[in-house]
């Protein structure tokens, strides 16, 4: 049995290519592991709030010194961390927006990056504590960014892979629906993306 967490970060709702691609990935995981459970988290509706001074302060207060206000301030971060750690398979919907990810996905990243919980430091450098996860990045883009001139402007896949690896999630597969606005490519781009899904 797999516990699947599907993160959605698109503003397009049901018309979103990254959501459609993420749904297809989650469905294929469920088909391969029929007893799996699926939890969906929409990061943009309602939008995950960015860190603020009160939350940042609360995240670094020792447990025995937390006030009621501190507990409230960090409650969302704690919930998101528990949700992440409970998942076996994580599907991250990541449309390319102005060459990078939506700010709500970055806010989620900031909430779940917790020293001593999701990562730590050793004498030889940082070590990720979120291990044993399979991650699929459902990436969509109007242009082509996996190769050619656009590759240098892809700050989605490289960033997410670097960040996930920092937390210990190194088993990452990027599934791309790209060229969705390019004549001659857009007509079959989504179908090509769906056919490229491979579940381990």
- Binding site members for FMN: 10, 16-18, 140-143
Instruction: Give the angle 89-20-166 at the CA atoms, nearest 5°.
Output: 35
Torsions phi, psi for 23 (to 5 deg): -60, -40
Query: Taking Cα atoms as reference points, which of 55, 48, 108, 56 lies closest to residue 84?
Result: 108
Query: Taking Cα atoms as reference points, which of 57, 59, 2, 67 lies closest to residue 28?
Result: 2
Question: What is the C-alpha separation between 82 and 47, in angstroms, rounded?
Answer: 19
Query: Is there a contact between 118 and 130 (Cβ–Cβ < 8 Å)?
Result: yes
- Give the residue numbers of the binding site: 10, 16-18, 140-143
* β-bridge partners, 174: 137
Beta strands in 13-164 (DSSP E): 37-42, 89-95, 119-122, 125-128, 134-141
């Amino acid at each position: 049995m797999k516990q699947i967490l599907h993160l959605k970060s698109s503003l397009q709702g049901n018309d979103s290519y990254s959501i459609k691609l993420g749904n297809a990935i989650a469905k294929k995981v469920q088909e391969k592991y029929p007893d799996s459970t699926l939890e969906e988290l929409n990061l943009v509706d309602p939008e995950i709030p960015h860190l603020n001074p009160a939350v940042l302060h609360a995240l670094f207060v020792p447990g025995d010194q937390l006030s009621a206000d501190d507990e409230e301030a960090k409650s969302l971060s704690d919930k998101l961390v528990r949700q992440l750690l409970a998942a076996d398979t994580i599907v991250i919907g990541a449309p390319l927006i102005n060459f990078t990810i939506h700010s709500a996905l970055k806010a989620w990243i900031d909430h779940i990056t917790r020293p001593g919980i999701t990562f730590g430091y050793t004498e030889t450098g940082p070590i990720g504590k979120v291990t044993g996860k399979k991650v699929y990045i459902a990436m969509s883009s109007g242009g082509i960014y996996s190769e050619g001139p656009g590759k240098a402007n892809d700050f989605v896949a490289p960033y997410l892979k670097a960040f996930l690896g920092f937390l210990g999630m190194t088993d990452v597969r990027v599934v791309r629906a790209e060229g969705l606005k390019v004549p001659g490519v857009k007509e079959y781009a989504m179908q090509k993306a769906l056919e490229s899904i491979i579940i381990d």
